[in-house]
Structure 1
Amino acid sequence: MWGGRSVWREPRPAAAPPVGGLDWVLVGVFAAAAVAEVIARPGLAGQPLVAVLALALVPALLWRRAHPLRAVLVGWGAVAVLLALQVAAHADDVGLSCMSAVLILLYSLVRWGSGREMVLGTAFVTTVVAVGLLVSAAGSADVVGGSVLLLLFVALAAVFRYRADLWHRQQREIRNEERVALARELHDIVAHHVSAIAVQAQAGGVVAGVQPEKAIEVLAAIESEASRTLAEMRSMVRVLRDDGAVAYAPQPGVADLPALARAVPAPGVDVRVHGATGRLPAPVDAALYRLAQESLTNAVRHARGATRVMIDVRREGDAVRLRVADDGQFGPGPVPEPGFGLLGMAERAQLLGGSLCAGPGPDGGWVVEAELPVDASAWTAK
């Protein structure tokens, strides 16, 4: 098994490099070495055929990543023909030292080939090597040495293949984590804007019969809010659909909380910021904004009779604390189960090494309190 799949079903690795300048240098050096070695051995049996077979490795070296099985069949097939020539000529050796370049083809087969190509190609190479050892009547030392050399190239290719596969999987996991975070951002954005639209629509229904001109203003506000929501949704969905690198726009932070408060027509929202919050780490700054936004959305939706929501951000040493409280009514009965919004808020805080709690306040209403560490080392290791 390889990565949870059978070797036969293993696909080719992604992003095989195309033929480049170093490949042409390699084949140029090999061709020059082959020609020089043929000339240096004038008594070589079948000299013209040996030269042709050696130069057959030139295209194989260029194909070794795009067509690894074809390259192995050509290169090691040339070795098999040389072995047949050696038997026919009753010669001790008709090969060239430069033909050891076929080991590069074996490496490329394991590094870049599919499972099917690896199985077929290694079986072919094993057969050629076995026949070669038999023809040359190699001793046990030669057999062991040759086998170790072949296994070394195979193992080296397998290690590099595994490392590359692990790296690609890690990149996919990082992209998936980013997309989950973006999906959470999308939930926060839509929930906030839709809540604001709902409140404005309710207000429009109230004033329509009394002050028709005010209803027009409410409709204009609803249209503006809906347009903003659609724009943000399209931007976020475009990011979620993109498989490549993404240029992320700056995320809103604590400095944007007053604008968030002004966007809510009712209840009134007060924002208070204490301490040096202007140089918070970007993830902490964005998380504080999103936690406050989600808390405000919940207050607008669920706080019965609320007239005021207080957002308080306080920097205290190596931590920053957020408190969002409303003065709405909390009826008798059990505390409601946390929904996706509260669970997402708690998860967001925990990912940054912080904590979040939410529940009815001692003086009524609903209170959300979060504490996040400012020191990046407290959460980058998570």
Structure 2
Amino acid sequence: MDEERVHGGGPPPWWNRWADRHGRARLPWRSTLLITVFVLAGTRYAAAQQAGERAPLDTFARLLLVLASVLLLWRLRHPVVVVFGTAAATMLYLGAGYPYGPVFVAFAVACFSAVVAGHRKAAWTALGVLWAGHVLIAHWLHPWLPPARDSAAGWGQEGVVAAWGVAILSVAELARTRREQWARERAERAQAARRRADEERLRIARELHDVLAHSISVINVQAGVGLALLDSDPEQARTALTTIKAASKEALGEVRQVLDTLRAAGDAPRAPAPGLDRLPELVRQAAGTGLTVTVEGTAPTLPPGADLAAFRIVQEALTNVVRHSGSRHARVCLDSGDGTALRLRIDDDGPATGADAGGTGNGLAGMRERAAALGGTIEAGRRPDGGFRVLAVLPLRTGAEEDDR
């Protein structure tokens, strides 16, 4: 698709950013100075070789050469004006009968810049106008233009001029296409990096939610027990405070572990991620809140990601029982009978208490995201006989492991 149509006739956004850094901050005077010196020196040498055939170089000729070259200072900011300005200066130079030489260099550079900036039609139009003007001067108007007694140029020369012009613009088109490809690749890499950062932020938020929701629920229950028994049973209140201290210490440790992922890349983890091997610890913590947890089945060997997800799902499900259920008993069932997936079921007998200890519904959403990320599923809802059930199915092998096999 034509770049001018896509961007409303102007340069594409990547060119504007490039020009902001390299053009508007300062003009490209070094390259322009080199081109000016080259054009003046080359034309002077050509004039010596064409002495007697073309009009001698004079002040006006040098002014035209300098004008065409100096216009290149603005080729990044105003490429259309510059390409037509250099074409006009070059045509005046040729119409005055001055010697041939590197007189087309400034125009070629202006065409290249215009095409790369996205002004393709302007560059090709300027080339066509200059070529048509050269044909008119060299084949029909030469008897009335200097130098005197000048003969018509050969048509082969016109073919060479046209071929050079087309070649220059073709190279510019290739450069423009390549730059656009680089810009797209950079944008895709930046988008992928942003997507990875968003996924990492979501993962960290999910981990923090699971850690804090569980630990704060335990602390909340134990604090209530401690306050209720502070006067009547100081020893039981002390036990509740001890549980609060242990739960808060564990929560701080897990929060530090989650936040360790924000360290510089390449640092090794300071502690292993939790897994189903810590299931007895969850049972003990639940017992501290008055919830009895029965575990059925044995945890199989899981990939690290699935092991962490299974642990967090059980942790969140038990936290919800503590916070939202009147049941004082929960069952955790682990089943991997077919060898391809782990069926993880957490049941409580209810009823729901209607209490809301700060829950926002993010726990179930987090469990679903964890399972979906591994290619598994989560079902959660009320049972027909009352109570609540969470059923997770997690694959025992990840997609990457299957590919390796």
Deviation, structure 1 residue 243: 7.9
Question: Where do 1:1-382 residues align within 5 Å?
Answer: 7=13, 11=17, 73-91=29-47, 119-120=76-77, 129-130=106-107, 139-237=161-259, 239=261, 247-248=268-269, 249-264=271-286, 265=288, 266-274=290-298, 277-278=300-301, 280-304=302-326, 306-315=327-336, 316-330=338-352, 339-377=361-399
Q: What is residue 59 of structure 1 aligned with on the other side? A: none
Task: Identify the residue that residue 37 of structure 1 maps to in structure 2.
Answer: none
Q: CA deviation at 1:73?
A: 4.2
Secondary structure of 2:297's counterpart equals strand
Give the residue type in structure 2 aligned to 1:75. Answer: S
Gap regions ≥5 residues in structure 2: 1-5, 50-73, 87-104, 110-126, 135-156
TM-superposed deviation, 1:289: 0.9
- Tell me how far 1:363 sits from its aligned partner: 4.1
Report the AA paired with residue 86 of structure 1: G
> Does the 8 Å contact 1:201/1:222 carry over to 2?
yes
CA contact (8 A) 1:352 1:378 kept: no
Counterpart-to-counterpart distance in 2, 1:83 and 1:118? 17
Task: Deviation per CA, 1:282-318: give whole Å up to 9, x if none.
Answer: 22111111111110110010111x2221112211321
Offset, 1:379? 11
Would the aligned equivalents of 2:331 and 2:346 in 1 still touch at CA under 8 Å?
Answer: yes
Shift of 1:365: 2.0
Q: What root-mean-square deviation, in Å, do the aligned CA atoms of Structure 1 and Structure 2 show?
A: 3.9
Please tell me the residue identity of whatever aligns with 2:333.
D
Q: Shift in Å at residue 190 of structure 1?
A: 0.6
Contact 1:353 1:379 in 2 (8 A): no
Structure 2 CA distance, aligned partners of 1:91 and 1:119? 31
CA contact (8 A) 2:371 2:394 kept: yes
> SS where residue 252 of structure 1 aligns?
coil
| Alpha-carbon distance change, 351 to 84 in structure 1, aligned in 2, over 3 angstroms | same
Which sits farther off after the overlay, 349-358 or 290-299? 349-358
Matched position secondary structure for 1:356: strand
What code does the residue aligned with 1:154 have? R
SS at match of 2:202: helix
Greater shift, 218-227 or 230-239, is seen at: 230-239
Deviation, 1:79, is 2.2
Q: Residue 93 of structure 2 aligns with which residue?
A: none
Q: What amino acid is the match of 2:41?
A: L
Q: Distance in 1 between matches of 2:387 and 2:303?
A: 31
SS at match of 2:391: strand
Shift of residue 6, structure 1, vs aligned partner: 6.2
Report how far residue 175 of structure 1 moved: 1.6
How many matched pairs? 296
The residue aligned with 1:63 is: none
Instruction: Please give the TM-score of this superposition, normalised by the length of structure 2.
Output: 0.62
| Residues 192 and 10 of structure 1, relative CA distance in 2, 3 Å threshold | farther
Q: Do the aligned partners of residues 378 and 245 (structure 1) sit closer, same or farther apart at CA in structure 2, a change above 3 Å counting?
A: closer
Q: Which blocks of at least 5 consecutive residues in structure 1 are unaligned? A: 14-65, 94-116
1:177 shift after superposition: 0.6
CA drift of 1:344 comes to 2.1
Q: Which has the larger displacement, 197-206 or 359-368?
A: 359-368
Alpha-carbon separation, structure 2, partners of 1:91 and 1:124: 29
TM-score (norm 1): 0.65
Tell me which moved more, 254-263 or 76-85.
Answer: 76-85
Q: Which residue of 2 aligns with 1:40?
A: none
Q: Secondary structure at the match of 1:274?
A: coil
Gap change, CA 1:143 and 1:348, over 3 Å in 2: same
Q: Deviations over 1:115-135 (max 9, x none)?
A: xx9943967996664167979
Compared with structure 1, are the counterparts of its residues 320 and 11 closer, same or farther at alpha carbon in structure 2 (3 Å cutoff)? farther
